[in-house]
Structure 1
Amino acid sequence: MTATVSDADGSRPTSDPNPVISGRRTAFQHSLIWVFVAGPMVALALAVPLAWGWGVDWHDLVLLVVFYVPAVLGITVGFHRHFTHKSFKAKPWLRVAMAITGSLAVQGNILNWVADHRRHHAFSDREGDPHSPWLFGTSPLAVARGFLHAHMTWFFDRNETNHRRFIPDLLADRAIVRVSKTFGIWVAVSLLLPAVLGGLISWSWVGVLTGFFWGGLVRLAISNHVTWSINSICHMIGRRPFRSRDRSHNFWPLAVLSMGESWHNLHHADPTCARHGVLPGQIDISARLIWIFEKLGWAYDVRWPTPKRLARLSSQEA
C-alpha cells in the first residue's frame, strides 16, 4: 500500500513511497503477545472469585493503584500525546522517563506502539487502520467481529507497521531506541517489583504472590482493557461534538480510568492538541500533568486548544 497518508503526528496528508507493512513478528515474539494478553485476562477473571472468597489486602490494592497510575500516564502523556502526536516538547531526561514509564504498561515497546498509533491516525476507520471496529461492515455480525478486532484480536496480526515510514524521528533518537531495546527489563520491573514490595510490606511469601497477582497481572489487565476500549468503544459509542473524518466518539465513563483519553472525538478532530477534554466538566488528568510539567519548565511549546480553533472544529451535535 503506497497511497497518500497522514504525516508523523497524524494530522496532515503527505505522500510516502514506503509500504505500510514491513516484516513479520517471529514465532517467539508472537508467542509473547499471547502470554501478555491472555495472562492478565486470566488473572482478571480469577480476581472476582478470589476477592469474594478470601478478600483483598489493603496493600495489594495500593500496589495496584501505585503501578497503574504512572504506567497509564506513561502511555497517555508519553507514548501518545508526546511521542506520537508531538503535543508538547520535553527536556531530554523527561522524554526518557516517559518512555520508561510507558513501557511499564507492557503494551509493546515504544517504537512499535507509536508506529501502530500513527498508522491508525493515517487511515482512521479505513483500510489500513490496524484496529478499526468498522473494517468488516455494518451488519450486526460484522459489528461484533469489528468490536472484538478493535479491542484485542488485532494484536494477533503478525505483520508489523513500517518503522521507517511512520517513526523516522524516533529511529534517529538514540536514547529512545535504547529504551525500546531494553523493553524486556521494564516488563520485568513492572511485574516483579509489585511482588517484591508485596513481600516486604507483609514480610511473607503470600505477600509476594498477592503483590504479583494484584499489582502485576490484574493491574495490567485493567490498564489493557481501558486502553483497548479507546480503540473499540470510543469508535462506536458516545457523543461527537467535533468534526472528524472518522467515527471517533467521546465516552465519558472511561474519562478517569483512561486519564482523559476517552474524550476521543476532539483528539481525532485535532490530533496534536495537548488537551482532549476541552468542554466544561471534561476531566483530563493527562492534560493536567502536562500543565504541571509546563509550569515546572520541563515541558514547553505545548499545543493547548484555542477558542477559535475549537469553534472551527465544532459540529452541530450538542
Structure 2
Amino acid sequence: MTPSATSTVPPPARSPQPLTDGRKSGPEHALVITFVVLPLLAVAAAVPLAWGWGLSVTDIAIALAFYVVSGLGITVGFHRHFTHGSFRANRGLRIALAVAGSLAFQGTVTGWVADHRRHHAFSDKAGDPHSPWLFGTGPRALARGMWHAHVGWLFGRDRTNAARFAPDLLADRDVVRVDRAFLPIAVASLLLPGVIGGLVTWSLTGALTAIFWAGLVRIALLHHVTWSINSICHMWGDRPFAARDRSVNVAWLALASFGESWHNLHHADPTCARHGVKRGQIDISARLIRIFEKLGWATAVRWPTERRLSRMRAQDGASTRSAAGRTVTVTDPDVSGSPSA
C-alpha cells in the first residue's frame, strides 16, 4: 500500500525551504491560461446556444455525471484525502480518487495539494496564494482581493514548492504516475462526453454538443464553484467556530460544492472528514466517505465528535458573521457531532 497523505502542514517559521519552487515555464503558464479561459469562453457561448438549439436531456445527464465524478474527485480525493488525510484509502480507491480529481481540469494532484497546504499554513496572511484579504479592507482593495482569490492567483508565475508542502505525494509512485498522465486525463475529460453523446444519439451533432456542455461548460462551472471556496468563503458568511483566519460558511454553495462551503468548520478542524456538522447542513462528500468506510475501502476516518466541536465553538456559544471586514454576533444553532455522514 502506498503511504497515506498526512494532514501536517509544514510550519512556515521552521522550514528553511522556500514557499515557491521557481517560476512556471512558458508552456505551463500557457496551459493554465488555456484551462481557465477556454471553459469561460464556452460559458459565454452557452446562453445563446441554449436559447436556440444544442442542449438536450442527454447533454444534461452526461454533464451532471461528469460534474459529480470530477467534483467529488476534488472534494473527497484531492482535498479531504490527499491534502488533509481525513481518512485512509486502499490503493484502488486512492488511485481512482486521483484520476477522478484530475478530470476536473484543476491541475495535478501534487500541485493542487501543495497549493492548498500552503493556503492553510498562511491562511489570510502573507504567503497565502489566494486570500482575498491581501490588499487591504477598502472597497477597491476588496474588489482586487476578490478577483485575486477567485481566479487572478492562477495567472501568477510562481509555483508552490511541492518538496516543502507535499513531500509525501512526491514519494508516492501511484500519485506520481497519475500526475504524469494529467494531460491525457484532461483531454479524456473533454472527449469522453463526446464519445458517450455520439454513441447515445448516434450522431456527430450529439457528440459535439456533449463535448460543449458536458466538457467545456461543466468544467467551467466546477472551476467557479471551487474558486468560490477561495474567495466568497473567506468573505461573507457565518463563523460558528473559532478559526485563526476569516473562513466562513456559505449555505447556498453547499450543494454545488458537495459540502465544501461549510468552510469555517474546515479551517477550525482541517482534518475532519465532515465539514457540514450542524443539523441540515448538506455534505455529500462526507456521505460518500461514509459509504467508502462501510465498504471497507476507507479506514481511520476522522469524524467529528461533540467534544472536539465544543472546543472549537465561538466563545460563549455565539458565532460571528463576517461581512467584508466587519463581524456581527449571531445565534449559534445546535451542532450535531454525530459521526454518521
TM-score, normalized by length of structure 2?
A: 0.90
- Conservation of the 8 A alpha-carbon contact between 2:7 and 2:271: no
More divergent stretch after superposition (192-201 vs 76-85): 192-201
Residue in 2 that maps onto 1:174: 173
- One-letter code of the match for 2:151? M
Once residues 126 and 99 of structure 1 are traced to their aligned partners in structure 2, the CA distance between those partners, rounded to angstroms, is: 29
Instruction: Give deviations 1:123-175, integer Å, cap 9, x for gaps.
Output: 00000000000000001000000000000010011110111100111111011
What residue identity is the alignment partner of 1:54? Answer: W
Task: After TM superposition, give the deviation of residue 198 of structure 1 in Å.
Answer: 1.1
Shift of 1:201: 1.2
1:120-159 equivalence runs, <5 A = 120-159=119-158
1:233 and 1:159 mapped to 2: Cα distance? 23
Whole-Å separation in 2 of the counterparts to 1:105 and 1:91: 22
Matches within 5 A, 1:182-197: 182-197=181-196
Distance 1:86 1:258 in 2: 19
In structure 2, what is the Cα distance between the partners aligned to 1:20 and 1:179?
Answer: 24
Mapped to 1, the partners of 2:169 and 2:106 lie a distance apart of 18
Q: What residue in structure 1 maps to residue 82 of structure 2?
A: 83
Partner of 1:269: 268
- Taking only aligned residues, the RMSD between alpha carbons, in angstroms, comes to 1.3
2:110 aligned with 1:114 = no
Aligned to 1:223: 222
Partner Cα distance (1:93, 1:44) in 2:
34
Shift of 1:55: 5.5
Residues in 2 aligned to 1:199 and 1:229: alpha-carbon distance in whole angstroms: 33
State whether residues 8 and 166 of structure 1, in contact with CA within 8 Å, keep that contact through their aligned partners in structure 2. Answer: no
Deviations, residues 183-210 of structure 1 (Å, cap 9, x unaligned):
0111011000001111111111111110
Structure 1 residue identity aligned to 2:26: A
Measure, in 2, the Cα distance between the counterparts of 1:156 and 1:57. 34
> Displacement of 1:53 after TM fit?
1.8
Q: Note if contact 1:109-1:183 (Cα within 8 Å) is conserved in structure 2.
A: yes
Matching residue of 2:281: 282
Q: CA deviation at 1:97?
A: 0.5
CA distance in 1, matches of 2:9, 2:240: 20
Q: How far does residue 14 in structure 1 lie from its aligned partner after superposition?
A: 6.8
Contact 2:10 2:165 survives alignment (8 Å)? no
1:247 matched residue in structure 2: 246
| 1:232 aligned counterpart, secondary structure | helix
Aligned-partner Cα distance in 1 for 2:234–2:162: 25
Q: For residue 236 of structure 2, what is the aligned residue in structure 1?
A: 237
User: Structure 1 counterpart of 2:201, which letter?
Assistant: S
Aligned amino acid, residue 270 of structure 1: D
Match of 1:4 in 2: none
Q: Please give the alpha-carbon distance, in whole angstroms, between the structure 1 residues aligned to 2:188 and 2:231.
A: 29
Kept after mapping to 2: 8 A contact 1:10/1:271? no
Question: Unpaired segments of 5 or more residues in structure 1?
Answer: 1-6
2-structure distance, mates of 1:260, 1:139: 30
Structure 2 stretches lacking a partner, 5+ long: 1-5, 320-331, 333-341
Deviation at 1:10, TM superposition (A): 3.8
How much has 1:9 moved relative to structure 2? 3.4
Alignment-derived partner of residue 37 in structure 2: 38
Quick check: 1:125–1:133 contact (8 Å CA) kept in 2? yes
Equivalent position amino acid for 1:305 in 2 = P
- In the other structure, the counterpart of 1:18 is 17
Say whether residues 1:163 and 2:169 are aligned partners. Answer: no
- Aligned positions, number: 312
Paired with 2:13 and 2:279, the residues of 1 have a C-alpha distance of: 35
Q: Given the superposition, is the C-alpha separation of residues 292 and 14 from structure 1 closer, same or farther in structure 2, using an over 3 Å criterion?
A: farther
Native 8 Å contact 1:104 1:187 kept in 2: yes
Instruction: Tell me, yes or no, if the aligned pair for 1:71 and 1:105 is still in contact at 8 Å.
Output: yes
Measured against aligned partners, the alpha-carbon deviations of 1:286-317 in whole angstroms (never above 9, x if no partner) come to 00000000000000000000001101100121
Does the Cα contact within 8 Å between 2:239 and 2:247 map onto a contact in 1?
yes
Is 1:306 the counterpart of 2:308? The answer is no
Q: Given the two structures, how large is their TM-score scaled by the length of structure 1?
A: 0.96
What SS does the corresponding residue of 2:236 show, helix, strand or coil?
coil
Tell me how far apart the structure 2 counterparts of residues 45 and 144 of structure 1 sit (CA, whole Å). 22
1:294 corresponds to 2:293: yes
